[in-house]
Structure 1
């Protein structure tokens, strides 16, 4: 069953009548990775998510699949080694959503990194992360650093390091992994919340009660095992179980702000330390924009919708003015912003930036398996660890046997292009084909970079629609709406503009231009009544408002 948003009732009926090997609660990148791994091994898998897929942390990151260079400062050697190697796997399996990005690390007198420490750090980083030869660090003098990025502060500049990180579309990465899990037979549903555990007479979890968040209907699901992969909500889910251990999460908030390149003409991604507290943050060019982040502050309020405060914006603006003094921007130049929550494992007495990004697996007396902490980059390895344990328990308790993990060499949905080295050639081929489907080369390239090997389906949809039937949308945009409904389970306009296209963060003018017509198309295709249409329209307008403006931090 593909991830279609149509005929939700039939999907729920199947999920209620099937006994699964495992139910995964949580539809971020961790849950998606677990669903793919388990389904590929031959397990009968279900996954539910109370919001949209990737609506939490997995759409609100810095959008980098990176090796964690800054963790060397904290001597988190294992984190650097594991995530550095994992990012190469993530890239190879989904090159359309993960691509190399050269990063500049400027060195200033009195700054966090000196010439020797930078060279040493990047050398160790290359070794630990298993960086291939063509992407290893290059040391630059002052003149070369300025040539690389003329906006960097020149006062006290001593040179720089040039190394490779990997940029990604975090939400689309999650969606593509989820779609691949569905291809292997996983039953998946968003806007479905686990409200209560079901136990047998031995107080072992045998299922969950589920509430459909779109219509408040409830149903039951049963399984041999349940995995809690809910990120910031891990503790809330465990609170519903009698066998919670004494470990807890510590949530921190990270904020990013976005500018048009006309006011912040950044040509090179830069990783730099702030003047205020020496924290390391990123400034990254992306499709005609520049975004900067992230903050790192303790957080304990609205996890479903963390807000960007004026204090957050001021912190990042001051960092920009410190490292890029010639850039004359004001708060009014911020086009959009987002805030995300990091679910870290509590370590008493440590500042937010010092808490380890390691992951842990907890097993309750009830049989509940919980995975907590971790990083986007390491999602595949995290999934392998917990599914190994799941397979062991299913063998011990149910005499069930399954194949070993094979996700290292499994392209995610959209990744079947013949390897990462062939990406640009693949894009050129699809650009040339686009005109045969009533699309421009630019539209063909845009769709190919976003959807990879799935682009043929979007081309087909674009070609089949007439101007009268596209609700006034360009055929390329209409194709995205239809494809997102039929194959990516969008239920609301915010799903489309935030997590399927990323335009609310990186092209808010696009959202303003097409929102009414997209809503009209979705209303028709999903049979909304006027009340539902009004609710979803207001929800989108609120998201636009929050992206554009700071919010008072209500405590």
Structure 2
């Protein structure tokens, strides 16, 4: 039985309440998912819960890059750059459909932060630390070569460029893929389940009282070890455990804007400096280009960080300064997202200066908390936590995740992924879909795209009046209901398909049909249906407008 099927949720929750687990994870972002996979693949009995959807916090709101953090070299974080730089190749190997090679262009400009010599040495060091080989090694470009790569750059201030290898990803889909793979190894993973109370016996943590956010049913999960992998909420759990002492979190906010690719028609992903000394990414993706990120202190509600007008204007000014012919305005922004970085506080340091290193905190009650870190380093962070747990259990199981393929990633190489995209593209072109759709499907579902396309063919037969676009969305919905624990409109349109960020116009066209299908499949009352409509509408307004 697939316990990630939305229809098997009650069976899943029953199992969670009936048994005792070696390890209970609070938090279903990329760190919690990675720990669940590592522990389950070592033979531990694992449970995972998240009060929201999987990846609903930080793990769906990053810059969506698997990168080594070039700027951390400047801060002297050699060990961090070496580790995450090396991890890029492993994460790509394990999920080649989700972690896609992406050449990055770093323009060198008059009065910029980086000179040619410093950039050349920095990129050489970056490649050396990350073990980059062959054609992926950095190249230094002349002004002419740089303009050939990206003609929109300002020729009046451009001096040349650095050209180096990174990887693009979909952070939420990577998290979902790791969750699915953990489940394959026996981990029980439940979204929309809030840890409402820590349960102790003789002052030792024995489990967690949980509230099902969909039904308000309360139950208890018993566990020998509990890990707090809640990202921005780590200190909230530590405080409840009476162990919030010493080092604490420092939350910073990062914002990204989405515009039509027609408005910002970049040929190439760029990493460029702006007048205040920070660095910004601009990344073309299908029919959009996204821009980010900011780095500011955050004190607001952790569930709903917002893009402010000041954030949007800062990024637009940065783009317009770098690409003077573009002239983007607030009206050009189609969507946006804001995410929180749960960093470790360092006195006297600005948000951009704070270290991205992860740290583990262990309390007297046995609670293990993990904070800090980067998306790219999730596998090594997870390994460190599980190494600690197995030592406590007096076991010697070794980490297996370096060689575990993430579900959907059974391709063997990046070329095999490209070949499959071309194959899917041929099929979709005859159906009247735009060119980007094949890349979207394979980049979302990987080898399981074939299952989605089988459902698409069935939808066409069952619902002749439906447009091809609606038939495909319905096929995706049914696939996600069967395999990916979809329980709300937001689950589907955001973390499963990315449409709220990258194709928000399609959401407005599809939402009513998808809502009614979810009502049928999940047995929603009219009240739950309306609650979902209102919730999605509120979310869309937050993505399309700016807080003051």
Shift of 1:93: 0.5
User: Where does residue 216 of structure 2 map in the other structure?
Assistant: 216
Mapped to 2, the partners of 1:280 and 1:434 lie a distance apart of 38
Structure 1 residue 27: Cα displacement: 0.3
How far did residue 154 of structure 1 move?
2.1
Partner secondary structure for residue 485 of structure 1: helix
In the TM superposition, what whole-angstrom CA distance separates every residue of 1:347-367 from its partner, at most 9, and x where no partner exists? 010000000000011111111
Name the CA shift for 1:469/1:8 in 2 (closer, same or farther; >3 Å): farther
Q: Quote the residue 1:12 is aligned against.
A: 13
Q: What secondary structure does 2:62 align onto?
A: coil
| Secondary structure class of the residue paired with 2:242 | coil
Contact preservation (8 Å) 1:231, 1:343: yes
In the other structure, the counterpart of 1:517 is 513
Deviations 1:1-45 (A, max 9, x none): 341111322211110001100000000000000000000000000
Q: CA deviation at 1:469?
A: 4.8
Q: In the alignment, what sits opposite 1:408?
A: 402
The alpha carbon displacement at 1:460 in A equals: 2.6
Matches of 1:435 and 1:318, distance apart in 2: 38
Secondary structure of the structure 1 residue equivalent to 2:7: coil
- In structure 2, the partner of 1:241 is 241
Q: Find the aligned partners of 1:174 and 1:22 in 2 and give their Cα distance.
A: 19
1:220-231 equivalent positions in 2, closer than 5 A: 220-231=220-231
What does 1:316-335 align with in structure 2 at a 5 Å threshold? 316-335=315-334
Instruction: Give the superposition deviation at 1:432.
Output: 5.5
Matches within 5 A, 1:199-348: 199-201=200-202, 203-275=203-275, 277-348=276-347
Q: State the distance in 1 between where 2:45 and 2:135 align.
A: 42
CA distance in 1, matches of 2:429, 2:393: 52
Is the deviation greater in 503-512 or in 57-66? 503-512
Identify unmatched segments of 5+ residues in structure 2: none
Contact persistence 1:472–1:517 (CA under 8 A): no
2:43 is aligned to 42
Number of aligned residue pairs? 544
**Residue 65 of structure 2 aligns to a residue in which SS?**
coil
User: Aligned residue for 2:384?
Assistant: 385
Q: In the alignment, is the contact (CA less than 8 A) between 2:93 and 2:412 conserved in 1?
A: no
**CA–CA distance in 1 between the matches of 2:136 and 2:518?**
44
SS in 2 for 1:6: helix
Unmatched segments (≥5 aa) in structure 1? 396-400
Does the residue aligned with 1:263 lie in a helix, a strand or coil? coil
Give the TM-score of the pair, scaled to structure 2: 0.96
**What is the Cα-based RMSD across aligned positions, in Å?**
1.8
Aligned 8 A contact 2:410 2:447 in 1: yes
Cα 1:351/1:307, change in 2 over 3 Å: same
Say if 1:431 and 1:441, in contact at 8 Å, map to a contact too: no
Deviation at 1:242, TM superposition (A): 2.6
After superposition, where does 1:63-212 map in structure 2 within 5 Å? 63-201=64-202, 203-212=203-212
Could you tell me how far 1:199 is from its partner in structure 2? 1.0
1:421, CA displacement in angstroms? 3.9
Structure-1 residue corresponding to 2:498? 502
3-state secondary structure, aligned to 1:27: coil
Residues 470 and 185 of structure 1: CA distance in aligned 2, closer, same or farther (over 3 Å): farther
User: Does the residue aligned with 2:291 lie in a helix, a strand or coil?
Assistant: strand
Q: Return the TM-score normalized by structure 1.
A: 0.95
